Amino acid sequence: MTVYFKFPKMTKDDIKKIVLEIIEEIAPDEDLADVKPDVRLRDQLDLDSMDFLDIVMELRKQHSIEVPEEEYQELASLDSCANYLLPKFNQA
């Protein structure tokens, strides 16, 4: 008999939390308490292009989420991250 486990689906809030946790690992000196979800992350945090690349790499390393380079702009804000990543997290 095969038993399949159904994992709960991720929510947009779950994904925003994951992205903030990754940013906290990459830039521990950043104050993430007042990050606005609809404003570009690079406009409100001191993130450079290498930090942004680190976010993409951590998504792949920690969660097996691939983000092609031509889609990096989809990760501009927390809201856009959640919208873009939600189907990727829930496709399994």
Give me the CATH number covering residue 47. 1.10.1200.10
Q: Give residue 80's domain range.
A: 12-90
What 3-state DSSP class applies to 31?
Answer: coil
Measured CA angle at 52 (ends 48, 56), to 5 deg: 165
- State the chain's maximal CA–CA distance in angstroms: 53
- Rounded CA separation 58/12 (Å): 18
CB contact at 8 A, 40 and 76: yes
> For position 8, what pLDDT does the model report?
76
pLDDT in tens, 49-92: 899 999 999 999 999 999 999 999 999 999 999 999 999 999 85
Cα–chain center distance at 25: 12
Instruction: Give the number of domains in the chain.
Output: 1
> For position 91, what pLDDT does the model report?
84
Res. 30: pLDDT tops 80: yes
Residue 82: inside a domain, yes or no? yes
Residue 66: inside a domain, yes or no? yes
- Rounded CA separation 52/54 (Å): 5
Model pTM score: 0.88
